[in-house]
């Protein structure tokens, strides 16, 4: 029996396969599959939406963006080169009306869009008893190709005035979009 | 030039074994490596599946949980989801991120205080539920997500819906939206988490 003591294993191209800190904590090299790209971006300021109109949500701030693939100017995630695959996507939005607490929120929808068309959505229609606010969620697993872009849209019908996407309440992010690539799926 | 070293123990500079071989090709990963690599099943978020309800369910039995069978798969890497029963039984042990959504409503008796509930069921027991109040004739969407530990053999998960409306038609909406709302109303999916 033999033992080799080593903290870094590289391939013949000098690429690190794995490293150890000398205490048994092992870190895989970047060449191993990872759940990236990964991103989480959110709405940093309340956004009023024209009543009964499907509108892109202004996701303007990133919290996680491993591949700098989320464009906050255009509010979209674009699959970067070499990163095609199967992704899990999730959207959440706190939906209300621009009048604050007025209980006139009627039917409303939250969408995940791919390349300008909806691929997943959440549908609420409270009928005759209007709400003040509601938090909608939608998620899916889907294949994405390089260059595909993902956005979040919403439709809000309120009894008077405009709808609103609520951004942050007491430091808590209320409306956001996240996603990451799955490995081997 | 490519070289070859034959060795049965690969250890770090502190003499902590990373990989041990029995000399016959049977490897044992250290706990440190296993936690990074998830040695059973490899570095993959699989099994994974995503299925949706392709046609409406009508006349849910009131005041009890009814299993929702998501009939159409968009993906199912290891055939662990059964489209005839609605049950997900992964064949690799581990923790899974599970999520579900259902659009439900009722054509009720006109009385108030109606609600719909969506729940994950572990065997015959509800593990998590989401509930939304709804007026008669209203429609709403309930969403769930959770991390669930499966043994890789017998453990299974299903989604059930509940409506307390005592009259009229209680329904779950299948299929996809129209116009700009393309996508499934009602779905169920899961994938394995690495290293958890």
CB contact under 8 A, A24 and B77: no
Question: In degrees, to the nearest 5, what angle opens at C-alpha A149 toward C-alphas A145 and A150?
Answer: 115
User: Which residues have CB under 8 Å from B66's CB, separation 6+?
Assistant: B57, B60, B160, B161, B162
pLDDT of residue B192: 92
Mean of per-residue pLDDT scores for chain A: 88
Candidates B140, B147, B159, B174, partner chain A, best to mutate (most A CBs within 10 A): B140
Q: Which of residues 133-162 of B touch A (CB under 8 A)?
A: 134-141, 143, 145
Across A29-40, average pLDDT: 82
- At residue B99, the pLDDT reads 94
Predicted pLDDT at A1: 60
Q: Per the CB < 8 Å rule, is A20 touching B43?
A: no
For residue B10, name the pLDDT band (cuts at 50, 70, 90): confident
The predicted pLDDT at position A172 comes to 84
Output A33 or B153, whichever has higher pLDDT: B153
Measured between beta carbons, which residues in chain A are less than 8 angstroms from residue B8?
1-2
Which residues, including other chains, have CB under 8 Å from residue B128's CB and lie 6 or more apart?
Answer: B119, B120, B144, B146
Confidence of residue B11 (pLDDT cuts 50, 70, 90): confident
Q: Could you tell me if A147 lies within 8 Å of chain B, comparing CB atoms?
A: no
Please name which of B172, B163, B168, B170 lies closest in space to residue B63, comparing C-alpha atoms: B163
pLDDT in tens, B98-113: 999 998 876 555 566 6
pLDDT digits (tens, 9 = 90+) for B67-95: 999 999 999 999 999 999 999 999 999 88
User: Which tens digits make up the pLDDT trace of B133-181?
Assistant: 666 667 788 888 888 899 999 999 999 998 877 666 677 888 776 544 4
- CB-CB neighbors (< 8 A) of A140 in chain B: 50, 183-184, 187, 189
Q: Tell me whether 0.90 is exceeded by the ipTM.
A: no
Choose among B115, B163, B164: nearest CA to B135: B115
Model pLDDT for residues B121-130, shown as the tens digit of each residue: 987 777 667 6
Question: Which pLDDT band, with edges at 50, 70 and 90, does B22 fall under?
Answer: confident
Between A162 and B34, name the one with better pLDDT.
A162
Q: Does A124 touch chain B (CB under 8 A)?
A: yes
Closest Cα in chain B, distance from residue A142 (Å)? 8
**Mean pLDDT over the full length of chain B:** 80
B176, B182 contact by CB (below 8 A) = yes
Mean pLDDT of A173-180: 92
Closest by Cβ to A117, choosing from B8, B182, B189: B182
Question: How many Cβ pairs within 8 Å bridge chains A and B?
Answer: 177
The closest alpha carbon to B63, from B166, B182, B148, B171, belongs to B166
ω before A37 within 30° of 0 (cis)? yes
Smallest Cβ distance to B45: which of A27, A32, A35?
Answer: A35
How many CB atoms sit inside 10 A of residue A51's CB? 17
CB A39 within 8 A of CB A65: yes
Bond preceding residue A28 cis, omega within 30 of 0: no
**In this complex, which of B46, B50, B138 lies closest to A125 when CB atoms are compared?**
B138
Note the pLDDT of residue A26.
Answer: 77
């Amino acid at each position: 029996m033999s033992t080799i003591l080593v903290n870094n294993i590289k391939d013949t191209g000098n690429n690190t396969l794995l490293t150890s800190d000398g205490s048994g904590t092992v870190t895989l090299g970047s060449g191993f599959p990872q759940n990236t790209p990964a991103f989480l971006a959110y709405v940093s300021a309340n956004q009023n939406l024209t009543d009964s109109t499907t509108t892109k949500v202004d996701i303007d701030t990133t919290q996680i963006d491993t591949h700098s693939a989320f464009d906050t100017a255009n509010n979209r995630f674009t699959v970067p080169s070499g990163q095609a695959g199967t992704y899990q996507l999730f959207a959440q939005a706190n939906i209300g009306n621009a009048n604050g607490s007025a209980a006139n929120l009627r039917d409303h929808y939250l969408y995940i869009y791919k390349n300008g068309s909806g691929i997943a959505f959440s549908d609420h229609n409270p009928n005759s008893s209007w709400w003040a606010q509601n938090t909608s969620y939608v998620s899916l697993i889907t294949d994405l190709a390089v260059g595909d872009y993902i956005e979040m849209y919403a439709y809000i019908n309120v009894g008077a005035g405009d709808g609103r996407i609520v951004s942050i309440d007491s430091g808590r992010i209320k409306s956001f979009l996240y996603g990451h690539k799955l490995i081997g799926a | 030039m490519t070289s070859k070293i034959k060795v049965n123990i690969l250890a770090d500079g502190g003499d902590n074994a990373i990989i041990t071989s029995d000399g016959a090709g049977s490897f044992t990963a250290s706990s440190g490596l296993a936690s990074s690599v998830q040695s059973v099943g490899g570095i993959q978020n699989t099994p994974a599946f995503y299925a949706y309800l392709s046609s409406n369910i009508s006349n849910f039995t009131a005041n009890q949980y009814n299993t929702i069978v998501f009939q159409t798969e968009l993906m199912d890497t290891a055939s662990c989801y059964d489209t005839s029963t609605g049950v997900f039984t992964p064949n690799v042990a581990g923790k899974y991120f599970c999520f579900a959504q259902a659009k439900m409503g009722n054509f009720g008796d006109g009385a108030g205080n109606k609600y719909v509930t969506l729940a994950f069921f572990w065997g015959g027991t509800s593990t998590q539920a989401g509930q939304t109040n709804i007026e008669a004739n209203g429609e709403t969407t309930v969403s769930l997500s959770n991390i669930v530990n499966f043994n890789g053999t017998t453990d299974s998960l299903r989604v059930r819906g509940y409506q307390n409306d005592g009259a009229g038609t209680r329904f779950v909406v299948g299929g996809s939206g129209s116009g700009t709302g393309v996508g499934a109303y009602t779905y169920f999916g899961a994938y394995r988490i690495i290293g958890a």
